[in-house]
Structure 1
């Protein structure tokens, strides 16, 4: 049987630290959260490899490096309120929960949301709230958020998410077409909204009122 802790340690060293992930808190969280618990049993031996894996409903769990990169970009210190759009397997929410005070996560697919919720509960996370709805609308009654992470590709940045960003807040979102996107960092500053391009990525489509149609 695979030693999952050793596999996690190797993942952190070879896929993350060696590729430029520097935040010690992010590396520690990635080394702690049991990624294999978020995929089907048949795929658990592949959970710490450097590629996405299917989780059903035509969705995937992102490759570890991308999870770490997007998380590091939020620059979390521990007292933040974070919104995640696209719960998927629940893995990214668990990573965020290790690094922020509270995590609100939205999933449009009820069966994925239910499964993620069960796993997160089993692992003992008490600072994650899940909701089934259109993630492109954000979570207005809990806004503003210090960090917002979008784990699906959109043709444009949903305006509600920009609106729900706190002062000095950071939003990370893949923007582009169906085949490839650019990872964009959006920051709300005293001078206004600032956008920075972080390079090419490939995500499943973000479906919703402010993204791709159903």
Structure 2
């Protein structure tokens, strides 16, 4: 097992993460930057990878590693949370709880977070991480979010914000219907070697505005519908 650095080294590593990785990636919201200093990322990382919690990489959450079950890199998690522009009254849906770190950040900015995780063991660990961090406004549920046209989260809709903690080929229209008017969804869409962060805002009952402000690559979320590659 890799030992965690000393407290001094840990704080230096946290500072370096914020200043050398996150801020240069246009994460400039002072609230988000402050949270990265307050919410202890290393406490959400797997025990064998705690020393890597501040490194610019995706961390596997299982041993052996399983596709789609990882802690996204600090800059990607921070940028996604920032771009949602969360408000204190927002109700948030997260698909892919993972470690629980993104949920912890969003919980500090929003009123409540419903976070769905397909893997029972990861859901249990995330609940423990959040409880130990004193976060009490996140409801982690074990569920296949995409199953039966998002039935697991439909009853709790509408949401002011939705975050997909992994990549999908495209955002399903049925998921967008769970947004309130004025609500925002952020996801990483497309295929390797280049994917796009996709930010969708519901502007009316029938209209949506989409932007793709930055590029990245992220592991796939499990069981999301695949886009058709054929046009008829």
TM normalised by structure 2 equals 0.85
Structure 1 gap ranges (5+): none
1:15 is paired with a residue whose SS is helix
Q: Note the C-alpha offset of 1:201.
A: 1.8
Contact 1:178 1:205 in 2 (8 A): no
Q: 2:37 aligns with which of 18, 31, 34?
A: 31
Could you tell me how far apart the structure 2 residues matched to 1:134 and 1:41 are?
26
* Deviation sequence 1:47-75 (CA, Å, 0-9, x none): 11121111115121111100111001101
Moved more, 192-201 or 95-104: 192-201
Could you tell me how far apart the structure 1 residues matched to 2:37 and 2:99 are?
18
Q: How many residues align?
A: 212
Does residue 48 of structure 2 align to residue 42 of structure 1? yes
Q: Note the C-alpha offset of 1:46.
A: 1.4
- Return closer, same or farther for 1:53/1:75 CA change in 2, 3 Å cut-off: same
* Other-structure match for 1:69: 79
Does residue 6 of structure 2 align to residue 2 of structure 1? yes
Does residue 67 of structure 2 align to residue 79 of structure 1? no
Could you tell me how far apart the structure 1 residues matched to 2:133 and 2:104 are?
9
Q: 1:105 aligns with which of 84, 99, 115?
A: 115
Q: Which runs of 4+ in 1 moved over 4 A?
A: none
Contact 1:76 1:99 in 2 (8 A): yes
Contact 2:166 2:188 in 1 (8 A): yes
Q: Note the C-alpha offset of 1:164.
A: 0.5
- Return closer, same or farther for 1:30/1:79 CA change in 2, 3 Å cut-off: same
* Other-structure match for 2:22: 16
- Return closer, same or farther for 1:209/1:72 CA change in 2, 3 Å cut-off: closer
TM normalised by structure 1 equals 0.92
Could you tell me how far apart the structure 1 residues matched to 2:51 and 2:218 are?
23
Alpha-carbon RMSD across the aligned residues, in angstroms, is: 1.8
Structure 2 gap ranges (5+): 228-232
